[in-house]
Structure 1
Amino acid sequence: MPWGERPRWARWVSVIWIVGFVEGTGAHLLDLISGGLHAYHAWPLPSQVLFHALLVVDLLVAVLVARGLPSGPPLGAAVMVTDLTANYQGNWSGLLHEPLAYVGVTGLLPMTLFGLFVVGTALPLGRAFRGIVRPV
């Protein structure tokens, strides 16, 4: 769906999604540049594979949403649920022992807020991309 045909709210939501997923791509790229293939060596193997895959998948979500393709929102929601699950699993012990260490402008808190935003807006954004406008 072209930008001009999207409802105004869908344009704003799309921009937030694109910025968030491009930022995720950048974060995973920086991890890869600084740590190589072993950047996530302390994480379980499935999480390592996921975090490396997100380098491509986050960018794919951003492109799908930018193009207004209906496959973008469900993929984005699935990515965020999977990413947050892996991050909470890997940080759970630290989160229980020092929860305030995870409150900040980077890390788990903003990822969680963005993930909640993505999951909460995925269905209406997907409907908007299909041209189905339902009153809220």
Structure 2
Amino acid sequence: MGETWEPGRAGVLRLPSGRLVRGRALRGPVPAGATPGFAVHLLGRRPPDVPWEARWLRWPDFRLPADRAEAREVLGEAWERAGAERVEFACGGGRGRTGTALACLAVLDGVPAERAVEFVRRHYDCHAVETPWQRRYVRHFAD
């Protein structure tokens, strides 16, 4: 792998393949240290510009992605890129939408869909994936 996240840093999740991705809250400051090479912003409104490459996935708070086909495409691109660069997922609080996206990434990485939420809660944030419909979305992401 190329320039990826440092394991053990705040918000960094190691997927079973060894890929490292970072989740964070956009309401907080950008963490010190390395910056992302690619970010996915999960928000209901267009986010402010950042000095690195970013994609906006329209995803209202406590909801699901507005366009599920686009979400699958963006998450697939992020998973691919995470093999060689620093990929970040961020929403307002860094838990619900970010946790849901990370759980979907875990499914793409080979974690069984019915265990992906538990995986992300254990290895990223115990409060990740906040709503029943977000959990259901993850369970059916691979369908």
Answer whether TM exceeds 0.5 for this pair. Answer: no
Structure having the higher helix fraction is 1
Structure number with bigger Rg: 1
User: RCO greater where, 1 or 2, for CA within 8 Å and sep 6 or more?
Assistant: 1
